[in-house]
Chains A and B, each alone.
Chain A
């Protein structure tokens, strides 16, 4: 029976080709534009490390005082003295301080022209904490952290560029004019958004991938140039005064064993701030924040509010298209009142006419969905030319979006077709036939 409905639906589609084309066009445009924008929003609000995002925490403490709040929140980054203290107190299962660095790198061959590598100065726990896969070698050890060892871990691309002949592990590299030993190579690791990089204005959530890692204290001691934004209350400090100052420029991340430990970290941080107030460092009461990965991405507005608004505009457009499709389907159905009467008179049941109407809607939905996917693909392609390279990764057609488009296409058209189909099924046989 369904095959017969489909056949009839196809026939009708051909007979009312212009009206059908109009309906398909409206639905596909609505789907295409809303799915294009939603696709970008979805990519930007994705969870980059879902298996432990609720156990990875980053800390904030107000060391600037109430007068220097921005939007009533403590500074985004931390001072060197707080990072050092947190590491000493060692409250998580794993933990690492970090900041973005921009360094000139050459192989030891003296004449080579240096390249700039955007990297990360961090502690040894960075690798196991963020589940960074190593292609070769090993991360450095906590002992090497403490010894301020001259070691680096390279990203795959930079390693291949510097050592085209292969084996980079064990080789020596000149970073900012000093020799470092390569101990490990990071494999494909591309968390998107790059949650650990959104806070410090360095590479950003979608920028250049981190290509070089070195021990935190090695970088601090050797004054390796930071690429993080530095916020100070006073300018013109000497290096030692800078490290002891309230200037903020580093992040601190820690991993707890279970979600139940999160309140403990909150309590610890609050107690730490209270201690700073007692000792006279802060003249204000403790004001601290603990964010997990998802909360952090939300707070940092990785997916901008404006994009959310644009998504709502596009969804609104889809609703308009739905209303439009419904009006046109109704028109198409009314135009065929005579045909319905004839079929009723020939013995088709109301149920049959209703199902017939739904089948037609389904067919239009399938067409609308297919064309809508095409528009989405075109839209994302066009968007790729527009957006900063930094967020190019967000303009891929995701399988989930394809699935959603298909489901929406069918749901939207069936919804729009429901009433016209019902109306058609109410056609009285004899009455309309008289005017034929």
Chain B
């Protein structure tokens, strides 16, 4: 069955509306990459040699080992949590799902800042550590510290995607396997895992891409990855060529990784029928409930409750000192406005690329997809500079306006939106669209009446994911914001680097609170299916 669909190319190869729209989006998305290419071409042979022998080995090791550690950590936390909340019905299950997603509202640099404070000798964790182990608390300023912080900040992506896939997986497959005599482990390994593979791969891809492009945590914790080194090259030494050279290496690294991920995802595709019954979680025993809550509680404690309590405590101080003034609410408005516009625009821009690739498999659609991923694999500062250079050279009247910042954000988070929408489109059986076409609906009508309503969930999660990321976005905002235009992340950055924690905490708190309704929106479809 699968092969029939794969071979059946039901849209022709002739230039379509969706294809040309996709091309337009891709052309904008690759601007920063072109900038990197052009700048690195000015790097002479000696420059490349210096990079290869001097910096690269250490950076490669740091970046790769960090990515692997965070991927492992996120997989363990995300998959285990997703499994329990979809396979067992227990008291407080919905609360647990909520709390598992909440860490997404906390930016990595806030995590880094909070944990380095908590782990100081007189910090909450520092003192607790001293009581238990009677040794000084561990340092965060190393590989494991950074991996810890980035895992807490990122595992929710895996959780979200795996949980979604698990709750939509169909019971009949598992039942059939059990009837055939498979053990529960065999069911997991041979039925669930292959079905989950796209979700796990997509989740881990998002996590690793966040690690590769993370600027906030690594610069606060001074762990030299590619992104930090590129930023320091540009900003400390004004060496754009070396920075571009490093970016180019980073891009090839990330693209290799992305192609690998695609490979794993593409090898198998499964379509279900809508009649099959969804999985109904079994009621948990008392023992199971307490075990589940112990494990989930432990994750939540570190990933959300502790940081949140810290923010509340410091914000309270700020509130008492009357530090929350009109200016502060201005930052909140700026942040919300930019993120809202950027998320909406990103989802719209992602749609043609995602659909084009989901429905038409050929060289062009593949390369569009990979080209549009470039936004995610380039570090934020490089994207910002690429857009900046382009705008200054070609459309200087736009410079200094908010539109440039929003376009940079769209370029940066486009792959996230494409990923989410495309995996939704992939799960949609092509036969439904074929049916609509054969009943005489035009392509646009099919899109409007069939495809879009059915991938609505994917579009909503794409919007939410992008909104959350744009709300936290730091490096591009630092570079491209209009004069005097401060967002919450920018303020957090400025105050935290001056150690004005009572000013950084309320801003971080507002990020969490501002994302709450969005998360509620994201979780709503889940409610209707249960």
Tell whether A and B belong to one assembly: no
Q: Which residues of A contact B (CB under 8 A)?
A: none
